[in-house]
Amino acid sequence: MIKTTILGASGYTGAELVRILSQHPEFEVSVISGDSKSGLNYGEVYPSFNHLKMPKLSSIEEVNFDGQDVVFCALPHTKSANIIKNIPESIKVIDLSADFRLRDVNQYENWYETSHPASNLQKQAVYGLTEFYRNEIKNSRLIACTGCNAATGMYPLIPLLKERLIDIDNIVINLAAGVSGAGRKAKEEIIHSEISEGYTPYNVSQHRHLAEFDQEFSIAAGKPVRVIFTPHLLPQNRGILATIYVKGDFKKIQNSLEKRYIDEEFITVIPPNSLVSTKHVRGSNFCHIGVCNSSKKDTVIIFSSLDNLIKGSSGQAVQNANLIFGLKENTGLMTPAFFP
């Protein structure tokens, strides 16, 4: 068994890691941390996990990495890098924070308005968009999992940018995400009475996932790309739906995406002019992409949907860990979506 530590197991993405790995045939969760809940049984924090034989939550300072094979780090940015820089180099690290996503440390410092806590490790990190960095991930020690919003937009757009099928100066991404994307920490703006029965844009023109779009889209296109990106808060627990407007040929876009993902188990391109829904991927490691005609001949609408806590975070992390340890990529991840 692969000895596994989960740092930040008391948060939402940490809980998803526990849920997925508790059913995984090759990983054994032997250490879990959660500073605010340290000393508690896991079932006290998440009663739905009462039946699992999990170790007690410890503080990060109490974690002993001896004998561990992999660490999943589900901590906030800056805190994550400060911990990772002290993890023995013999241990693989899957980071779910933003600390190692940006190749340019200066860009990290511009977007996150703080100095990088472990800039010397940045060159070791591989961006964790599994379907595009598979070979690099297999041979890496440190994986920087993507932002959930970023992954939702990149799956449909990177293939089209690589093939020069869309106008790089006319890309608009309107994205709506469930409230779990804001984390578990209590915040006034995400309590039920503040978000229910409403639909709200936030961080317009300054959302930090724009930095990931800039980076990955520019690599794909071979030249600088800057998209218009507006995130919105959905009054639901989980799920992301991106509505993307591009200028290009409808049939070429549909055919390109079908061809790119025909052999990808977790990315489904649905029939043309069909609609996707967050309900169709909720609770799963799948991403659905749909291509539709618009009311303007030269504009195509692309829909992309995934579960922000799984394919956008913890499921992606496990998919990458499977690659690192030479396992089948889908191991432990084939649970279908929850429905209804």
Q: Which residues are tagged catalytic?
A: 148
| Residue 46 DSSP one-character state | -
Give the pairing type, strands 267-269 and 287-293: parallel
Give whole-number Cα distances, 111 to 79, 105, 144, in Å.
16, 10, 17
Residues 271-286: b if buried by 16+ CB within 10 A, e if exposed: eeeeebebebbbbbbb
Which DSSP symbol is given to 166?
A: B
Cα–Cα distance measured from residue 144 to residue 223, given in angstroms and rounded to the nearest whole number: 23
Which spans in the chain are helix H? 12-21, 42-45, 79-84, 105-112, 134-138, 148-162, 192-195, 209-221, 250-261, 315-324
Q: What is the four-CA torsion angle of 310, 315, 317, 322, rounded to 10 degrees?
A: -170
Which residues have CB under 8 Å from 62's CB, separation 6+?
33, 38
- Whether omega for the bond prior to residue 340 falls within 30 degrees of 0, making it cis, is yes
